[in-house]
Amino acid sequence: MRPFRALTYRRHDPEQLARVSSPAYDLVTAAARHRLAAADPHNVVRLILPEPTGAEDAGGAAADRPGLVMAHAARTLRQWEVDGVLQRDARPALWVYELRPTDGAAATVGWLGAVALPPAGSRAVLPHEDTFPAAVEGRRALLAATETDLEPIVLAHDPDPEVTALTSAARTDAPDLHLVDADGVGHHLWRVTDPALLEAVGAALARTEAVIADGHHRFAAAQAHARDDAGTTERAAVLALVTPMGPGGLRVEPIHRVLPGLDLATAGALAARGFRVTELDVAGRGSLVEAVQNWQLDPVESGFLVTDGVGLLHLDAPRDVVRAAVPAEGPPALQRLDVVLAHHGLFQRLWGRGDGTEEVLVAHDLEQALHAAAERAGVAVLLRAPSPADVADVARAGARMPRKSTLFVPKPRTGLVFRPHDD
């Protein structure tokens, strides 16, 4: 990890930072993008999810539109810097980033900096999820156009007592940037420029390995961009928030699935060939949402739930036909995960679905899953989160979970710190 000259919004007051920042690009729905863009003419969503209009989008073949979109983002970024909306730091720095829920839950804290892209075969940074080439290409094209890391990936590193001590030492004064987001999470950032401290942090983190917690597509895009930009590969890096595994680190929440055009009765009948299927009494549990939440919180529960928003099925006790669908070369940590059994055994083997983005949709919370299932006349498959230890075991074994298997929280806010590639 090395320091960099950050690009930040000139106005640092918390209310303004809340208006111009956003969640990560892959968590922003079309409706949310509209709200964010309307909140402020300089909201970062205009850069991470650009949508040119008017003359900029007129004419030209449809095949040219992705290039127009990325060029629009690059022009917008440069214009904001020219206009003084954004300003470049005078000195390279690392940033301590603390995410503190206002409900009293423990804070997550880490270091934000430019992490060198590891060479092929290195175990310094380990992915644990599959990626989609089209999504990687979209992020690569945005990198190539803007030559700026617009949002960080998140890495979870091996615990190290020296890193913990250095992190505490860097948070003695008031933060340089801070805001509270709509979910009640406080974001506090300290700019660190002391050369001795920067050197010590870099040396301490260099002793550890890290698992990608968030940003697999952005990490792959950074690698692809570095390969394309051969003249600067010796300085190829990616903006990353590096947090410890365990105390002071991230939590894992589930990401659910939605299968469009599949009714609950058919889903249950087909699933019964490979699972024990139990119909749950929703009325006796208060409501469907309450029934799901109670199930998710019960530590002895297993399997997953299937619902169309009205009925609710519990699938567990997978049979041999399901387990045989899981790739045999995968490590034990991978083969037992619910998300793996669901993708390989349920979706592909029993329901005959592929893994395309229109065949299996992802939903980042229960409300989104239920809404998508109703809107697409399908069913939502509600999963339990894997443990951080399972995620680390899969990554260290060189294996991959299905795309979008984990939701590490809390997440850094996009738009607080950018990394220009000429830093």
Tell if the pTM clears 0.95, that is, is over it: no
| Confidence tier at 154 by pLDDT (50, 70, 90) | very high
CA distance 152 to 241: 6
Percent of the chain with pLDDT over 90: 61
User: Tokens 């934000």 belong to which residue?
Assistant: 112
Pull the structure tokens for residue 305.
């739930």
Nearest to 65 by CA among 147, 138, 158: 138
Helix (H, G, I), strand (E, B) or coil at 240: strand
CA distance 93 to 24: 23
In the chain, the amino acid numbered 332 is P
User: Tokens 């009325």 belong to which residue?
Assistant: 283
In the chain, the amino acid numbered 203 is A
Does residue 59 carry a pLDDT above 50? Answer: no
CA angle at 97 for the pair 94 and 103, rounded to the nearest 5°:
175
CA distance 354 to 351: 9
pLDDT of residue 57: 43
DSSP conformation letters of 19-84: HH-BS-GGG--HHHHHHHHHH-TT-THHHHS----GGGGSSS-GGGHHHHHHHHHHHHHHHHHHTT
- Please state the rounded mean pLDDT for residues 409-416: 92
The string of pLDDT tens digits covering residues 185-243 is 999 999 999 999 999 999 999 999 899 988 999 999 999 999 887 655 556 999 999 99
Does residue 303 carry a pLDDT above 50? Answer: yes
